[in-house]
């Protein structure tokens, strides 16, 4: 049986672990080869929230994609560093022949202060990675897609925080709204080339980004060492469906739909995978 993205090549940022790894595996399961990048470092200023991905994580993504008999070109690259990002992509395209799908997934989640208390450095770090990094990703890949002349699908990872305000999370919320603006502009510019551009909007996803004490404390500020078990009922409360968080594969299934020819006429859409978070 032919895979749903058989023969396509997907460029994925933040692919060392979490949603990015899951996207790589889900697309590979359905027949795609992968170009993967990740910063593979703990980002200065982020340590108080959660640890960054490692080179071992990226190597594990490589191992798991290859176990599916698909090819993968993986590079350590920071989405803020345009020349490095472009070089990684260009090497991947040279080796795998083309690029058809883009998942601009890399992002960080910093939070916890009311807006007037957020430092410039934190604002810049979050927006540089989450917004400028997405723009860099698109900027690097668009010339390939146009030159190939075979269309393409660009999927940008926004968030429920790209659709609604989120108290005490101003930099992240601004960055994820910016992603929607990038998507809408690219959808208009690229439609004549049959390149589709859409966003996905996850609620909380069961990855290291939310499964940490600092995130739990956002909901339980008086608890010095909140646990996953204590946090789960509070996470249930923010969704409409009776679940605390979704799994990475739930986002990957949305990415797969948008990446595949099943969605060949879907562009400019904001695809929420949010368990009803935004209806509340």
CA dihedral 24, 90, 84, 33 (to 10 degrees): 10
Q: Give the catalytic positions in this structure.
A: 172
Does residue 191 touch another protein according to CB under 8 A?
Answer: yes
Q: Which of 80, 98, 139, 194 binds another protein (CB under 8 A)?
A: 194
Between 98 and 184, whose beta carbon lies closer to another protein? Answer: 184
189 CA to centre of own chain: 22
Does residue 142 touch another protein according to CB under 8 A?
Answer: no
Cα–Cα nearest to 107, from 75, 80, 82? 80
Restricted to residues 197-226, the positions that interact with another protein (CB under 8 A) are 203
Does residue 278 touch another protein according to CB under 8 A?
Answer: yes
Inter-helix orientation angle 18-29/55-67, to 10°: 20
Does residue 240 touch another protein according to CB under 8 A?
Answer: yes
60 CA to centre of own chain: 18
Q: In this structure, are residues 230 and 219 in contact, taking their beta carbons and an 8 Å threshold? A: no
- Angstrom distances, CA of residue 160 to CA of 118, 203, 219, 233: 21, 6, 17, 19
Between 3 and 45, whose beta carbon lies closer to another protein? Answer: 3
Between 234 and 243, whose beta carbon lies closer to another protein? Answer: 243
> Which one of 58-66, 123-131, 217-225, 237-245 is the stretch in contact with another protein (CB under 8 A)?
237-245
- Angstrom distances, CA of residue 266 to CA of 91, 140, 154: 29, 22, 11
**What are the start-end ranges of the E strands in the chain?**
9-13, 33-38, 72-76, 101-104, 152-157, 195-202, 270-273
Does residue 29 touch another protein according to CB under 8 A?
Answer: no
Beta bridge partners of 246: 205
Restricted to residues 32-51, the positions that interact with another protein (CB under 8 A) are none
Between 174 and 271, whose beta carbon lies closer to another protein? Answer: 271
Cβ at position 164, least distance to another protein in Å? 12
Does residue 274 touch another protein according to CB under 8 A?
Answer: yes
Restricted to residues 242-271, the positions that interact with another protein (CB under 8 A) are 242-243, 246, 250, 253-254, 256-257, 262-269, 271
d(CA 79, CA 252): 20
- Where do contacts with another protein occur on this chain (CB under 8 A)? 184, 187-188, 191-192, 194, 196, 203, 239-243, 246, 250, 253-254, 256-257, 262-269, 271-276, 278-280
């Amino acid at each position: 049986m032919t895979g749903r993205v058989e023969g396509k090549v997907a460029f994925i940022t933040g692919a060392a672990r979490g949603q990015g790894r899951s996207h790589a595996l889900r697309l590979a399961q359905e027949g795609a080869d992968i170009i993967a990048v990740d910063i593979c470092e703990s980002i200065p200023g982020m340590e108080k929230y959660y640890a960054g991905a490692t080179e071992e994580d990226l190597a594990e993504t490589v191992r798991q994609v290859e176990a599916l008999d698909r090819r993968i070109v993986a590079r350590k690259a920071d989405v803020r560093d345009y020349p490095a990002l472009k070089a990684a992509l260009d090497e991947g395209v040279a080796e795998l022949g083309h690029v058809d799908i883009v998942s601009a997934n890399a992002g960080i989640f910093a939070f916890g202060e009311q807006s007037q208390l957020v430092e410039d450095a934190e604002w810049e770090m979050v927006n540089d990675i989450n917004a400028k990094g997405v723009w860099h990703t698109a900027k690097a890949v668009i010339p390939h897609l146009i030159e190939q002349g075979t269309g393409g699908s660009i999927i940008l990872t926004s968030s429920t925080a790209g659709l609604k305000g989120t108290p005490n999370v101003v930099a992240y919320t601004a960055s994820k709204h910016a992603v929607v603006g990038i998507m809408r502009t690219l959808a208009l510019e690229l439609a004549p080339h049959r390149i589709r551009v859409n966003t996905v909007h996850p609620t909380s996803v069961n990855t290291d980004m939310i499964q940490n004490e600092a995130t739990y404390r956002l909901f339980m500020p008086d608890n010095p060492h909140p646990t996953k078990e204590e946090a789960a009922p509070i996470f249930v409360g923010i969704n409409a469906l009776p679940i605390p968080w979704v799994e990475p594969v739930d986002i990957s299934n949305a990415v797969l739909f948008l990446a595949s020819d099943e969605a060949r006429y879907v562009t400019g859409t904001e695809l929420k995978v949010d368990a009803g978070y935004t209806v509340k």
